[in-house]
Amino acid sequence: MHSAIAESMRVPAVDRVSLSQSDGGWQQAMRGAITDVDTLFDLLALPERYREPARRTAAGFGLRVPRGYVARMRRGDIDDPLLRQVLPIDAENDVVPGFDIDAVGDSDSALGDGVLHKYHGRALLVTTGACAVHCRYCFRRHFDYASQHAGARQGHAALDHIAADTSIREVILSGGDPLSLSNQRLAVIGAGLDDISHVTRLRIHTRTAVVLPERIDDAFVDWVAGRPQQCVIVIHANHAQELDEAVAQRMGRLREAGATLLNQAVLLRRVNDDAETLAALSERLFSIGVMPYYLHMLDRVAGTAHFEVDEAAAKQLMTDLAGRLPGYLVPRLARENAGEQAKQVLGHSAEATGL
């Protein structure tokens, strides 16, 4: 596991340049993502009447979807669960009371150095503004990345903050998506963390691993294998159809590298809001070595109201799911509330269980 290439990452940044050569393939796939509404419509032969609304809405929060992800969609099907997650539609422009710009209160916890320290023992490092995909339900579609991500300049301040607080046991790389950073940049962050002995766990939250599995390249796998911290990789998959053979193969490599693999999904109306779909997701995840972790209630962000599943329906779904699956494949239904100590875990439907 501690391969030569992993050892070489402990030398100063300037000597690591050669490693970034392996970034070529996935960075090209990332740059080749579809950002043009017409290209998407033509590729998938989508019904014409949705084209103009898509163009209009994409002028705000833009369309972005990797070609490999589009290849997993059904042609001509406007209701495809993968397409629904990325297609701009008119409903995003509706103003709905209760759906605001900063739904999770991140603006209050940001310390200006790219660290969000909301929960005990865990510090979240906002590593980058870029994502390989633009998810229409994204809780950060209005987030001010430009001012808050820990770029090269802020990296030191972020690491100083973590080094100075011994209560921080786990560092969470989030964003944006930390896997849109180069391997070279990840190596620099990793090297900084390796000097902080109270940090024993490194967690990476990524949707890129799902939508652009090429990103899990040899250099990244070696970097994971070489971490002195326990490495937890939380992928963000919402539907079994997203988890094709390419994703499965990369998950296998990460497991071999010693990472613990978890999944965090978002409960989305007409994407995955039925027990059969959620059960299929859990079973597919397990078959590729990933344990279900959270099923998140939608953060109530402006432009996402059409994705919401109400709490009573969500709890009923959990009851149905628990009736179909072994307990270890049932994710925790959770909601994030501004100002609270932890994410709120919601129970099953009391009515359905007779309690």
Ligand X SMILES: *Cc1c(COP(=O)(O)O)cnc(C)c1O
Secondary structure of residue 337 in the 3-state scheme: coil
* Tokens representing residue 36 in the block: 């043009």
Residue 219 interacts with which of ligand X, ligand SF4, none, CB < 5 to 8 Å by class: none
Of 33 and 278, nearer to ligand SF4 (C-beta) is: 33
Which range binds ligand X by CB under 6 A, 70-78, 111-119, 148-156, 243-251?
111-119
Phi, psi of 195 (to 5 degrees): -80, -5
Supply the DSSP symbol for 137: T
Q: Is 257 in the site for ligand X (CB under 6 A)?
A: no
The Cα–Cα gap between 13 and 22 comes to 16
Q: Is 172 in the site for ligand SF4 (CB under 6 A)?
A: no
Residue 314 interacts with which of ligand SF4, ligand X, none, CB < 5 to 8 Å by class: none
Per-residue CA distances from 287 to 224, 277, 283, 290 (Å)? 22, 15, 6, 7
Which of 151, 343, 346, 352 touches ligand X by CB under 6 A?
343
Residue 348 interacts with which of ligand SF4, ligand X, none, CB < 5 to 8 Å by class: none
Of 177 and 320, nearer to ligand SF4 (C-beta) is: 177
Which range binds ligand SF4 by CB under 6 A, 16-24, 101-109, 129-137, 239-247?
129-137
The residues, any chain, with a CB within 8 Å of residue 59's CB and separated by 6 or more, are none
Q: Find, among 82, 188, 68, 168, the residue nearest to 128 by Cα.
A: 188
Nearest distance from C-beta of residue 67 to ligand X, angstroms: 30
Of 19 and 86, nearer to ligand SF4 (C-beta) is: 86
Supply the DSSP symbol for 74: P
Q: Is 124 in the site for ligand X (CB under 6 A)?
A: yes
Residue 122 interacts with which of ligand SF4, ligand X, none, CB < 5 to 8 Å by class: ligand X
Which range binds ligand X by CB under 6 A, 31-39, 43-51, 112-120, 154-162?
112-120
Q: Is 202 in the site for ligand X (CB under 6 A)?
A: no
- DSSP H or E run through 203: strand 201-206
Q: Is 117 in the site for ligand SF4 (CB under 6 A)?
A: no
Q: Is 286 in the site for ligand X (CB under 6 A)?
A: no
Nearest distance from C-beta of residue 334 to ligand X, angstroms: 7
CB atoms within 10 A of CB 76: 10
Supply the DSSP symbol for 343: P
Q: Find, among 85, 103, 133, the residue nearest to 306 by Cα.
A: 85
The Cα–Cα gap between 329 and 282 comes to 6
Secondary structure of residue 241 in the 3-state scheme: helix
Q: Is 161 in the site for ligand X (CB under 6 A)?
A: no
Torsion angle of the four alpha carbons 24, 149, 152, 343, in this order, in degrees rounded to the nearest 10:
-90
Which range binds ligand SF4 by CB under 6 A, 135-143, 184-192, 286-294, 307-315?
135-143
The residues, any chain, with a CB within 8 Å of residue 164's CB and separated by 6 or more, are none
Q: Is 106 in the site for ligand SF4 (CB under 6 A)?
A: no
Of 122 and 269, nearer to ligand X (C-beta) is: 122
Is-contact 19 184, C-beta < 8 A?
yes
Residue 116 interacts with which of ligand X, ligand SF4, none, CB < 5 to 8 Å by class: ligand X
The Cα–Cα gap between 2 and 8 comes to 10
Which of 51, 67, 122, 142 touches ligand X by CB under 6 A?
122
Question: Applying CB under 6 A, which residues contact ligand X?
Answer: 116, 118-119, 122, 124, 172, 342-343
Question: Applying CB under 6 A, which residues contact ligand SF4?
Answer: 131, 133-135, 138, 140, 176-177, 207
